[in-house]
């Protein structure tokens, strides 16, 4: 086990150009690896028939989906804690792996529906492309301006609680959130990604690339989720 020194690493903002570039390269390589692993696990779940069974399990049972969301939130908490652990690299990678698996399970029903029931067969690749373009633009903005966007944190916190409340209400009372909500959540996800990218530049240490990649993966996943929801609603499958 590769033990870490909790005091190792320096702030990326104070690091040399070489150290900063190395940290950013490692972070985005891990982000790419997490996305590839997510796609691989999702493909396996769908092709094995697990996704179809999962969709049938969730149909007409609001409690099943609430349990899934609760388990996802719990897994996300531990994954983030492990990924930022100063104990060992193995613990950090376990956290990132746990989060990738949790994301794949939560995304499984919607991706299955998009592949099998969406009127437009291109809705999934379209959502992926739009997510890539939007995430790329936000990342470019954060790195070129080098502005500290930590002031977004209170708004993100409040917005997150409001969104969670609306989601829970929609599950409990059976109403559809609709295009306006999905559009607002895409903007919210963009703000979260901007904040996370700013944190990488200003708050992270040079040895925290695994934790940084988890934060980015979470933000990109949130954006992809709501872009896909938005496009599916536009094509009449919400």
Mean pLDDT in order along the chain per 10 residues (238 residues): 47 76 90 94 91 80 77 89 82 92 91 84 90 92 84 89 85 78 92 90 85 93 93 72
Q: How buried is 16 (Cβ within 10 angstroms: 0-12 exposed, 13-18 middle, 19+ buried)?
A: exposed
State which residues form the domain around 193. Answer: 15-234
Q: For position 70, what pLDDT does the model report?
A: 84
Residue at 106 is within a domain = yes
What number of other Cβ atoms are within 10 A of residue 27's Cβ?
Answer: 23
Evaluated on CA atoms 183, 39, 79, 3, the torsion sign reads negative
- Spatial neighbors of 98 by CB under 8 A, at least 6 apart, are 75, 78, 79, 82
Rounded to whole angstroms, the Cα distance separating 234 from 232 reads 5
Q: For position 43, what pLDDT does the model report?
A: 93
Half-sphere exposure of 14 (CA within 13 A, CB side): 6
**DSSP labels for 110-144?**
HHHHHHHT-SSTTHHHHHHHHHHHHHHHHHHHHHH
Q: Which residue's structure tokens are 């979470």?
A: 218
Cβ–Cβ under 8 Å, residues 103 and 95: no
Residues forming beta bridges with residue 88, ordered by sequence position: 3
Rounded to whole angstroms, the Cα distance separating 214 from 27 reads 9
Residue at 100 is within a domain = yes
Rounded to whole angstroms, the Cα distance separating 238 from 228 reads 10
Q: For position 230, what pLDDT does the model report?
A: 92
Residue at 119 is within a domain = yes
Residue at 151 is within a domain = yes
Q: For position 93, what pLDDT does the model report?
A: 92
Q: For position 150, what pLDDT does the model report?
A: 84
Residue at 189 is within a domain = yes
Q: For position 8, what pLDDT does the model report?
A: 53
Rounded to whole angstroms, the Cα distance separating 11 from 72 reads 31
Rounded to whole angstroms, the Cα distance separating 34 from 170 reads 30
Residue at 6 is within a domain = no
Residue at 188 is within a domain = yes
Reading the block at residue 17, the tokens are 């150009």
Query: Considering its fold, how many domains does the chain have in total?
Result: 1
- Spatial neighbors of 156 by CB under 8 A, at least 6 apart, are 188, 191, 192, 195
**DSSP labels for 68-97?**
HHHHHHHHHHHHHHHHT-SSBHHHHHHHHH
Residue at 3 is within a domain = no
């Amino acid at each position: 086990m590769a033990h870490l020194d909790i005091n190792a690493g320096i702030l990326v903002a104070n690091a040399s150009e070489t150290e900063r570039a190395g940290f950013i390269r490692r972070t985005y390589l891990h982000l790419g690896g997490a996305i590839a692993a997510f796609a691989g696990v999702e493909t396996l779940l769908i092709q094995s028939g697990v996704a179809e069974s999962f969709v049938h399990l969730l149909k007409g049972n609001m409690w099943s989906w609430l349990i899934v969301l609760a388990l996802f939130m719990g897994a996300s908490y531990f994954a983030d804690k492990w990924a930022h652990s100063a104990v060992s690299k193995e613990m950090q990678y376990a956290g990132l792996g746990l989060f990738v698996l949790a994301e794949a399970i939560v995304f499984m029903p919607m991706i299955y529906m998009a592949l099998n029931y969406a009127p437009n067969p291109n809705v999934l690749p379209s959502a992926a492309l739009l997510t890539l373009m939007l995430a790329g633009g936000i990342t470019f903005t954060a790195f070129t301006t080098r502005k500290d966007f930590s002031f977004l944190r209170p708004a993100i916190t409040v917005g997150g609680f409001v969104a969670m409340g609306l989601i829970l209400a929609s599950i409990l009372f059976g109403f559809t959130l609709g295009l306006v909500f999905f559009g607002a959540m895409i903007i919210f996800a963009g703000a979260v990604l901007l904040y996370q990218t700013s944190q990488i530049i200003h708050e992270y240490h040079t040895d925290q690339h695994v934790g940084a990649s988890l934060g980015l993966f979470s933000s990109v996943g949130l954006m992809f989720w709501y872009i896909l929801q938005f496009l599916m609603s536009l094509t009449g499958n919400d």
